[in-house]
Amino acid sequence: MTDKPNQFLDIAVPGVTNLKPYVPGKPISELERELGITDSVKLASNENPLGCSELAKAAIQAELADVALYPDGGGVALRTALAAKHNVAPNCITLGNGSNDVLDMIARVFLAPGYESLFSQYAFAVYPISSQAVGATLNIVPAKDYGHDLEEMLNRVGEKTRVVWIANPNNPTGTWLNSEELEGFIAAVPGNVIVVVDEAYIEYVDEADYPDASLWLDKYPNLIVTRTFSKSYGLASLRVGYGLAHPDITDLLNRVRQPFNVNSMALAAALAALDDQTFIQRSVETNRQGMAQLTSAFEAMGLEYIPSVGNFVTVDLGRSAAEIDQALLRAGCITRPVANYGLPNHLRITVGLENQNSRVLAALKQALAG
C-alpha cells in the first residue's frame, strides 16, 4: 500500500479511524517465495501440526459435489450434534465463520458508541478490534503476572459496561483461570453485563481445576461461551466455530449473523470431526510432549517463558524479539512476535511436531548466539 494518509479517513465511522488491522502469522508460501526455499516451518498461528481428522477430510470430499449450492443457513446438522455434545438445546448455539465471527456478532449486538468493552491487557487481539469497530470504549485492565486481574476487572465493571471478554486460557500468554476464580467472577458481574468466555484451547488444557464454563450456562444467562474447530480440531482454514448461550442471547446474535456464514465443507467437516475424538486425544498428547520439549529447552537456554496450558508458549528473549524473529525467518522458521500485544521482548511459539520444535529451537539458539 502507500504511506500517504488515507484520504477517506474522515468519512469512515469513528471506531474504524483508529483501528489497526489484525496481523496474522506470515504465510508459509510467502516466506518460501522470498527465501527460495521449500522446507520452512510455521509455528506461528496455533494450528494443529497433525492436520485434521481423516473423517473430516472425507466429509469435505463428499461436499465437493454440491459446491454450487448455498450451505444450510441454519447449520441444523452441526447444531444438533453440538447441542447433544453440550447437553443444551439447539437454540443455544450460534455458528460462526470461525469463532471470530461469533465474537464480532457479540460486539455488534451489545456494543456501540457510549458503551464499554472490558478486557485484560494482553487479551486476544480480536476483542479490541471487534469492540472498536462498532465504536465502543475500550476498558483495558492491567494484567497480573501476564494473566487476568479479576478483582480489578470487577472493580471496573460500571454502568456503561456491556461486554467483558475473557479467553481461558488466554492467547497470547497461555495463562488460565481456575474454576473458583472464574465462576466467582461471573457470579459477581451484574446480570445485564455479558461475559464472554472464549474457550478456543479447551481441549488442550488438562489442569484438574480448569473449568468448562459451558456447564454454567443455566446458572448465568448473561454468559456466552465460544469454541472453535480451528485449533485442536485442525480445521482453521475452513473457518468454523460457535457460541453457546441462553436462547435469548442466541436469538439476538442470529439477528446480525450473515445468512450463510458457515460454508458446506466447514459444516460437514466439523460434524465429522466431532466423531473423531481419537484424533483429538492424539493431538493433545502430541502437544503435551512438544510443550515439554520446548519448555525444557528454554530452561536449558536460560530463557524465561510464560507457563501455558494451550498449544503455544510465549518466551521472553530478554531483548527485542524483532531481530531474532528476522533471523528465524531467514532460517525458514515462522514464529509469532507479539510486540503488537505490548510484549516486544517475547515470541509466541506454537507447539509443533518434535522435528519442527527442534528446528525452531536450533534456529533460536543460533539467532541468540549470533
Which of residues 53, 94, 120, 171 is near ligand PLP by CB under 6 A?
A: 171
Interface segment toward ligand PLP; rule CB under 6 A; list 30-38, 228-236, 275-283, 340-348? 228-236
**Residue indicated by cell numbers 456503561:** 160
Is 46 a binding residue for ligand PLP by CB under 6 A? The answer is: yes
Residues β-bridged to residue 346: 316
Is 48 a binding residue for ligand PLP by CB under 6 A? The answer is: no
Whole-number minimum distance, CB 234 to ligand PLP, in Å?
Answer: 11
Whole-number minimum distance, CB 151 to ligand PLP, in Å?
Answer: 22
Number of H helices, E strands in the chain: 13, 13
Residue pair 170/120 in contact by the 8 Å Cβ criterion: yes
Is 230 a binding residue for ligand PLP by CB under 6 A? The answer is: yes
Residue closer to ligand PLP, measured from CB, 162 or 231: 231
Which of residues 83, 236, 301, 327 is near ligand PLP by CB under 6 A?
A: 236
Residue closer to ligand PLP, measured from CB, 226 or 363: 226
Tell me the angle at which helices 264-274 and 76-86 cross, rounded to the nearest 10 degrees.
30
Is 175 a binding residue for ligand PLP by CB under 6 A? The answer is: no
Whole-number minimum distance, CB 350 to ligand PLP, in Å?
Answer: 10
CA 268 to chain centre: 22
Which of residues 164, 200, 280, 349 is near ligand PLP by CB under 6 A?
A: 200
Residue closer to ligand PLP, measured from CB, 252 or 266: 266
Q: What backbone phi and psi angles, to 5 degrees, belong to 309?
A: -105, 10
Kindly determine how many residues on this chain lie close enough to bind ligand PLP according to the rule CB under 6 A: 14
Is 198 a binding residue for ligand PLP by CB under 6 A? The answer is: yes
Secondary-structure breakdown of the chain: helix, strand, coil percentages, each rounded to the nearest 5: 45, 15, 40
Q: Which of residues 90-109 bind ligand PLP (CB under 6 A)?
A: 98-100
Whole-number minimum distance, CB 369 to ligand PLP, in Å?
Answer: 31
Gyration radius of the chain's alpha carbons: 21
Residue closer to ligand PLP, measured from CB, 189 or 238: 238
Nearest residue to ligand PLP on Cβ basis: 98
What's the DSSP call for residue 329?
H
CA distances from 324 to 45, 77, 127, 333 (A): 18, 47, 28, 11
Whole-number minimum distance, CB 102 to ligand PLP, in Å?
Answer: 8
Phi-psi sector, 103: left (phi>0), alpha (psi -120 to 50), beta: alpha
Residue pair 194/164 in contact by the 8 Å Cβ criterion: yes
Residue closer to ligand PLP, measured from CB, 114 or 342: 342
Residues β-bridged to residue 96: 241
Q: In sequence order, what DSSP letters do the residues of 122-139 get, joined into one string?
A: T--THHHHHHHHTTPEEE
Whole-number minimum distance, CB 312 to ligand PLP, in Å?
Answer: 8
Q: How far apart are CA 84 and CA 61, in angstroms?
A: 25
**Residue indicated by cell numbers 458446506:** 264
Which of residues 95, 167, 189, 266 is near ligand PLP by CB under 6 A?
A: 167
Q: Which of residues 243-302 bind ligand PLP (CB under 6 A)?
A: none
Amino acid of residue 89 = A
Residues β-bridged to residue 223: 195
Whole-number minimum distance, CB 365 to ligand PLP, in Å?
Answer: 27
Which positions touch ligand PLP (CB under 6 A)? 46, 98-100, 124, 167, 171, 198, 200, 228, 230-231, 236, 241
